[in-house]
């Protein structure tokens, strides 16, 4: 098929049904595990973490709430994109998805600001970074994110009666208005907090690099850089591709068709998978849980392997013995 003399390839809608469910299932399991460890660590070492613990706590909370929306999206894609939970719950699911993700971005920005202040201006902010102020700022972040996400609820999210679709944006009839809203939402909900995170992280890294060299400071620099790179990889592609995908739908409604439409659609689905990984990586990086979590998982795996070896060596009669407890 051609429009305006340009070849138009068929969009591979089946790609999302095949790609997203296994990704969401893995992210759901790994995310719950990582955030559970993160919450346990945070509560155990609350005083050690400092005033930024309030932001990290809200970050973990936002990630957990984000993860709770994934099972419904898995069911949606596994049933060949047929939403069976009703229009109201579709809007609630998408709203929670957005609020918790953009809340996560906001708390990452707040945590980066606190990290910047504690590294670059440690004397000036001594005694000023309190848990009470962090709690007030956290409340303001939740209110702001909800206000930014609320207009999304007023766009139609479902289409069809028996085999309803639950759009993450909106139906084609309102796509032009939604594109305008999406661009503004991207700027205020993601770009501004992301730039704050980049600026504060870059300044903190520069300060650490200028100070006397030490293994601890080198480790801090690497960790800050890894945080920034992972945030960029997980979040930037999604926002670019979401708006490109909306623009391709606008062009389609205007009777224009281009060969890049399918590539944008497929790339957007991949970016959704990367976006969901952010909720798994946050607790590992912002609470430095990577080594602890891997160590505990390796211990559990070693014990399970040892148990199986003992049962195999002792034969069937060993079933139910004390070794099964270990």
pLDDT tens string 34-78: 888 888 888 877 766 567 788 888 888 888 888 999 999 999 888
Count of helices and strands (H, E) across the chain: 11, 4
Q: What is the DSSP letter of 127?
A: T
Alpha-carbon gap, residue 175 to 247, rounded angstroms: 8
Q: What are 177-235's pLDDT values in tens digits? A: 999 999 999 999 999 999 999 999 888 888 888 776 667 677 777 777 888 888 898 89
Q: How confident is the model at residue 314 (pLDDT cuts 50, 70, 90)?
A: low
Query: Which range (90-99, 131-140, 160-169, 312-321) has the least confidence?
Result: 312-321
Question: Looking at residue 27, what is its pLDDT?
Answer: 93
Question: Looking at residue 321, what is its pLDDT?
Answer: 31
Question: Looking at residue 44, what is its pLDDT?
Answer: 79
Question: Looking at residue 309, what is its pLDDT?
Answer: 66
The answer to whether residues 79 and 73 touch, using CB atoms and an 8 Å cutoff, is no
Which residues pair with residue 3 across a beta bridge?
Answer: 6
Alpha-carbon gap, residue 38 to 30, rounded angstroms: 12
So where are the chain's domains?
8-288, 300-326
> Bigger pLDDT: 13 or 134?
134
Q: What are 262-311's pLDDT values in tens digits? A: 899 999 999 999 999 888 888 777 665 444 444 554 555 566 666 666 66
Q: How far, in Å, are 42, 179, 297, 302 from residue 39 at the CA level? A: 5, 37, 17, 25
Q: What are 249-260's pLDDT values in tens digits? A: 999 888 888 888
Question: Looking at residue 239, what is its pLDDT?
Answer: 94
SS3 at position 50: coil
The answer to whether residues 283 and 58 touch, using CB atoms and an 8 Å cutoff, is no
- Which residues have CB under 8 Å from 322's CB, separation 6+? none
- Which residues have CB under 8 Å from 126's CB, separation 6+? none
- CATH fold of 8-288 reads Rhopdopsin 7-helix transmembrane proteins (1.20.1070)
pTM of the full structure: 0.80
Highest mean pLDDT among 5-19, 94-108, 136-150: 136-150
Question: Looking at residue 322, what is its pLDDT?
Answer: 29
């Amino acid at each position: 098929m051609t429009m305006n003399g340009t070849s138009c390839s068929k969009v591979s809608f089946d790609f999302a049904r095949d790609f997203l469910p296994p990704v969401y299932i893995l992210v759901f399991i790994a995310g719950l595990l990582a955030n559970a460890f993160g919450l346990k660590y945070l509560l155990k070492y609350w005083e050690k973490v400092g005033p930024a613990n309030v932001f990290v706590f809200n970050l973990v909370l936002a990630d957990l709430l984000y993860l709770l929306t994934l099972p419904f999206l898995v069911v949606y894609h596994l049933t060949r994109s047929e939403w069976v939970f009703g229009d109201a719950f579709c809007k609630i699911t998408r709203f929670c998805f957005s609020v918790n993700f953009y809340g996560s971005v906001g708390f990452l920005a707040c945590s980066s600001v606190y990290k910047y202040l504690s590294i670059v201006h440690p004397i000036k902010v001594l005694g000023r970074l309190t848990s009470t102020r962090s709690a007030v700022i956290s409340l303001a972040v939740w209110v702001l994110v909800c206000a930014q996400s609320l207009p999304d609820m007023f766009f139609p999210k479902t289409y069809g009666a028996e085999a309803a679709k639950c759009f993450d944006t909106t139906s084609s009839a309102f796509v032009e208005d939604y594109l305008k809203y999406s661009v503004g939402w991207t700027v205020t909900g993601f770009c501004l907090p992301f730039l704050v995170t980049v600026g504060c992280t870059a300044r903190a890294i520069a300060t650490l690099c200028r100070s006397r060299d030490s293994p601890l400071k080198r480790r801090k620099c690497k960790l800050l850089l890894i945080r920034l790179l992972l945030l960029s990889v997980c979040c930037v592609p999604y926002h670019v591709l979401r708006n490109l995908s909306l623009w391709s739908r606008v062009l389609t409604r205007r009777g224009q068709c281009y060969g890049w439409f399918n590539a944008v659609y497929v790339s957007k689905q991949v970016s959704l998978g990367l976006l969901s990984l952010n909720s798994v990586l946050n607790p590992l990086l912002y609470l430095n849980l990577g080594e602890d979590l891997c160590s505990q998982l390796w211990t559990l795996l070693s014990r399970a392997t040892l148990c199986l070896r003992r049962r195999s060596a002792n034969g069937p009669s060993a079933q139910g013995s004390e070794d099964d407890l270990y």
